[in-house]
Chain A
Amino acid sequence: MSEESLNKIADSDSAEAEAPTRILLVEDDPALRMVLRNVLEINDYLVQEADSKATAEIILKSDPDIAAIVLDLGLPPSPHTTIEGLAVIKLVAAQLYRAKIVVLTGQDEESSALAAIKEGAFDFLSKPSRSEDILNSVQRAVLFYQNERTLEDEQGLTRLQINAKVSDGLKAVREEAEEKLVRHVLKDTEFNVYQSAARLGLKRESIYYFLKKFGIKRDDG
């Protein structure tokens, strides 16, 4: 998508753009976190900070309208591996948060980028990156977030991310899509089975069937 067309979409969403866009900054280095926060705040983003996966999870739960996450993959208690950072990306995917993830990391670039993208990251930047690149990436992430929200609100379209392995066949893909869609709708209806069934055009019994089949519990969302 070109810069110009992105700007046009941004203009059309001017009403939404007026409220400061929320960004979650997940970085364990306090000095770097402060400077990054400054870079984002100077550009009119509303920034929340987390230094670990646990803190990020709490913030995401309390503020589901976060548009983008700037994420360092190396987080405590294992800051020299990508384990915790990738766990944050998995968490965002599993909990169906709409936030787009921009990875900013000093970990081994090639393998980390591949793993991050596979888990559902929106963009990948390696440290050191220029603030202009970080801001461009965050801006694109926010625009995608906003447009997905618009499509969802106006046309009822929901974007699902599925990692499909062709050799697994259609059944595996269908099941993953079913699970994600059911989880998504249940989350939106605050686990109201009646409303979820109505939205999906199913009987309530079918929703109970999916709950059992995929092991979905109220706490998951």
Chain B
Amino acid sequence: MASLYPYLILIGSSILLATTWLLGQARRRARITNELVSLNEGLGFDLPDFLRHCWEPLQKAGFKGISWQLDWFGSSLSKTEGSEGDVFIHRKLEVDDITLVVNLYDGKRRFEQRYFSTVLSESFFLLLYTDMWVKLGTVQGAFAQTAKLSVFLQHDMKNIVQLISLVSEQLESTPVGKEEKLLNSLKTVMPTLHERSERFLSTLSRNAPTGDLKPVSLSDALHKTADIHDLKISIRGNGQVLINEQSLNSICDNLFGNYIDQHRRDPQTGPSIEIHIQDKNPNLEISIKDLNGKPCLWPERLFEPFWSEKGDGLGIGLYHARQLVRAARGSLQAITPEDDLMIFVINLPKAV
């Protein structure tokens, strides 16, 4: 038995050495894969740029050369780096208007070297394919959003123009005795027109309105917006927050608009909004709940831009409201219990 020990030690040492060597090789390949991933991320997932810069890490992995031809939305690009040879991995990737043909040249590899080479090349091709989809998704998303935005703005703009045109005509030729009626109607119409125009502008710019921060009464702002929407609200508590008044109106408008849209789909009952304002120094916390509402089915989608439940809304109302609250150094959250009413919680800096 003792005579076998030297052989056993030899076998064990060989296994240990082989394992250590394989582990080292695997780590080296993993580092190169990470390098490729970081490079891709650093270049903003831009496929042509990534292709131009990928040779250095691939060379480190022992590949002999790379050649690629890219049809990029109708423009042709191509490049060859390193040396070409007989052994290569060929791949053609196509996604809509983007086509990429890649040849990755490799030496003759056997056993574990072949395995490592295959793993790395497949990871590389996966990165290329991901970049193609990222680009396509971005382009298609941008087109869809622009088209959607255009439809919404056109609709709003036509209504605004129609309204202004009718009001001007009425002002020009008011029948005798009807002046008071016209004046009363203008008193109601003009604030609504103002609000519509502001909303139009904020949709267009999607920036926080400019202007001074000043103390604004929450109760007044909430009531003002609710009146414009002819919305029933009850408010407990009050206080002043430091904010641009136009921003606050826009936040209220977007939140109330969300409730109104919910009820338009199910017009049996209108919204009944309960608002609770509490002092949470140095902020004021505003909790908003629709007593006639329903549990939110899509909590993760609420603030996602350009998403709307039935696909019929522009889907930037709540997203915009959150941006405005953040710009005012506050926070906007939605508490969405599975079987209870959704609550919007806004924290805004208290005016001292």
How far, in angstroms, from A129 to B158 measured CA to CA in the complex? 10
- Residue of B with least CB distance to A39: B166
- Residue of A with least CB distance to B159: A29
How far, in angstroms, from A107 to B157 measured CA to CA in the complex? 11
Chain B residues within 8 Å of chain A by Cβ, number: 32
Complex contacts, A36 vs chain B, CB 8 Å: 166
Most buried by A among B154, B166, B189, B267: B166
CB of B170 within 8 A of CB of A39, answer yes
CB of B162 within 8 A of CB of A38, answer no
How far, in angstroms, from A156 to B305 measured CA to CA in the complex? 58
Complex contacts, B267 vs chain A, CB 8 Å: 52, 54-55
Interface residue B230 (Cβ < 8 Å from any Cβ of A):
yes
Main secondary structure of the interface of B (DSSP, over half): helix
B window 20-47: CB within 8 A of A: none
How far, in angstroms, from A129 to B163 measured CA to CA in the complex? 10
CB of A131 within 8 A of CB of B170, answer yes
Interface residue A159 (Cβ < 8 Å from any Cβ of B):
no
With A127-B162, A129-B162: A79-B155 Cβ-Cβ less than 8 Å? yes
How far, in angstroms, from A34 to B228 measured CA to CA in the complex? 13
Interface residue B265 (Cβ < 8 Å from any Cβ of A):
yes
With A31-B192, A36-B166, A80-B151: A128-B261 Cβ-Cβ less than 8 Å? no
B window 254-269: CB within 8 A of A: 261, 264-265, 267
A-B contacts at CB below 8 angstroms, number = 84
Interface residue B96 (Cβ < 8 Å from any Cβ of A):
no
A window 76-132: CB within 8 A of B: 76-81, 106-107, 127-132
Complex contacts, B300 vs chain A, CB 8 Å: none
CB of B193 within 8 A of CB of A76, answer no
The residue from B189, B196, B264, B312 contacting A35, defined by CB atoms under 8 A apart: B189
Complex contacts, B165 vs chain A, CB 8 Å: 128, 130-131
Interface residue A19 (Cβ < 8 Å from any Cβ of B):
no
Binds A, one of B60-68, B78-86, B177-185, B321-329: B177-185
Complex contacts, A42 vs chain B, CB 8 Å: 170, 174-175, 178, 181-182
With A35-B185, A54-B267, A77-B264: A106-B312 Cβ-Cβ less than 8 Å? no
How far, in angstroms, from A34 to B196 measured CA to CA in the complex? 14
With A106-B162, A131-B169: A38-B185 Cβ-Cβ less than 8 Å? yes
CB of B169 within 8 A of CB of A77, answer no
Contact with B along A56-77 (1 / 0, CB 8 A): 0000000000000000001011
Write the nearest CB–CB distance from A77 to chain B, whole angstroms.
4
A window 155-205: CB within 8 A of B: none
How far, in angstroms, from A132 to B172 measured CA to CA in the complex? 13
B window 322-352: CB within 8 A of A: none
Contact with B along A15-47 (1 / 0, CB 8 A): 000000000000001111011111101100000
Write the nearest CB–CB distance from B271 to chain A, whole angstroms.
13
Interface residue B210 (Cβ < 8 Å from any Cβ of A):
no
Complex contacts, B163 vs chain A, CB 8 Å: 29, 31-32, 35
The residue from B152, B167, B189, B264 contacting A76, defined by CB atoms under 8 A apart: B264
Interface residue B310 (Cβ < 8 Å from any Cβ of A):
yes
Most buried by A among B152, B154, B185: B185
Complex contacts, B175 vs chain A, CB 8 Å: 42
CB of B170 within 8 A of CB of A38, answer yes
How far, in angstroms, from A209 to B154 measured CA to CA in the complex? 50
Complex contacts, B8 vs chain A, CB 8 Å: none
B window 190-212: CB within 8 A of A: 192-193, 196
Write the nearest CB–CB distance from A185 to chain B, whole angstroms.
32
With A78-B310, A80-B151: A32-B230 Cβ-Cβ less than 8 Å? no
Complex contacts, B312 vs chain A, CB 8 Å: 77-81
B window 230-263: CB within 8 A of A: 230, 261
- Residue of B with least CB distance to A83: B312
Contact with A along B42-54 (1 / 0, CB 8 A): 0000000000000
The residue from B155, B167, B230 contacting A74, defined by CB atoms under 8 A apart: B155
Q: Which 7 pairs between the two chains have the least Cβ-Cβ distance? A: A106-B158, A31-B192, A76-B264, A128-B162, A78-B312, A77-B264, A127-B158
Contacts from A to B (Cβ < 8 Å): 29-32, 34-39, 41-42, 52, 54-55, 74, 76-81, 106-107, 127-132
Beyond A55-B267, A127-B158, 6 extra complex contacts between A and B, CB < 8 Å? A31-B193, A31-B196, A32-B162, A35-B189, A38-B181, A77-B264
Contacts from B to A (Cβ < 8 Å): 151-152, 154-155, 158-159, 161-163, 165-167, 169-170, 174-175, 178, 181-182, 185, 188-189, 192-193, 196, 230, 261, 264-265, 267, 310, 312
